[in-house]
Amino acid sequence: MAPAASPVAVSSCWVGSCRPCPPQLRNDLCVATKLAPFPWRLGRRGYDRALQASRQRLGGRLDRVQLHWSTARYAPWQEWPLLEGLADGVIAGEVGSLGVSNMGPRRLREVQRRLAERGVRLVSLQVQASLLAPEAVTGGELVACCRELGVDLIAYSPLALGLLCDRPGAGQGTLRGPRGLLFRRLRPRIEPLLALMRDIAAEHGAKVSEVALNWCRAHGAMPIPGLRTPWQAEAAAAALAWQMDEQERLALDRQALALPVRMPANPFLSD
């Protein structure tokens, strides 16, 4: 049986610009940010300035703060004091809730246990998950761990930087820098997947990007696409109007896992 579908979220850079929206709509949003554990951010107070700056940029409201990545692989002594400081903010009521990013099941269990000892609930985990980075959700272990711990699983880069969209940019040739190189390397080799996505989209009267988002939802992950244009926002909202069935999900799983290419893995992902 497929997991229950999750909703769609949007990145904090977009939410932070929504102050002119109607009060009721704004009240329904979860305003979140991520703080990077840069080498100079040390100790329990290492995030104080960054947290204050984020709150100011987001109009004084901050419902959730998240550790951007785990330092367990290269500076394990740095991570826990930073999380302690964020937990202090939750306990003091300065931040609504606490989440983490780029952790595997083993590290997630350890962090959840230590936060629970302080009476702080770990509410979410962000990992890269898309049809071009499927292992995070198709492997089963991470999804099962999040479900067991009551942690919401959030899929970042669910559209694979636009590779899984109907309009991946104004033509691959116009994209420059690392993103352009990635498009030129991956795009020609993912056509079988895109063809299947187009077929599923046609069945639902939807866009290819909606298929990508709903695949994440079908695996119990909340996709968090970056939105820069009204067209992108409308496509993300439209994805909530339907759900793919289990056969469609399984077909996409098989095609995604059979591809010879993947999105680059996050180098900071812990076990």
Written as tens digits, the pLDDT of the chain (271 aa) is: 334 455 555 444 444 444 566 676 667 788 899 999 999 999 999 999 999 999 888 888 889 999 999 999 899 999 999 999 999 999 999 899 999 999 999 999 999 999 999 999 999 999 999 999 999 999 889 999 999 999 999 999 999 999 998 764 444 556 677 888 888 889 899 999 999 999 999 999 999 999 999 999 999 999 999 888 888 888 888 999 999 999 999 999 999 999 999 999 888 888 8
Residue 128 in tokens: 């890269």
> What confidence score (pLDDT) does residue 21 get?
64
The H or E element that residue 153 is part of is: strand 152-156
Q: Whole-angstrom Cα distance, residue 257 to residue 26?
A: 38
Residue 201 in tokens: 């989209």
pTM (predicted TM-score): 0.87
Contacts (Cβ under 8 Å, ≥6 apart) of 100: 66, 67, 70, 83, 108, 111, 122, 124, 125, 126
Q: Whole-angstrom Cα distance, residue 73 to residue 86?
A: 20
> What confidence score (pLDDT) does residue 7 get?
55
Q: What Cα–Cα distance (Å) separates residue 197 from each residue in 136, 201, 207, 257? A: 20, 6, 9, 14
Give the pairing of strands 32-35 and 152-156: unpaired
Select from 233, 188, 232, 194 the least CA-distant residue to 215: 194
The H or E element that residue 126 is part of is: strand 122-128
Give the pairing of strands 97-101 and 152-156: unpaired
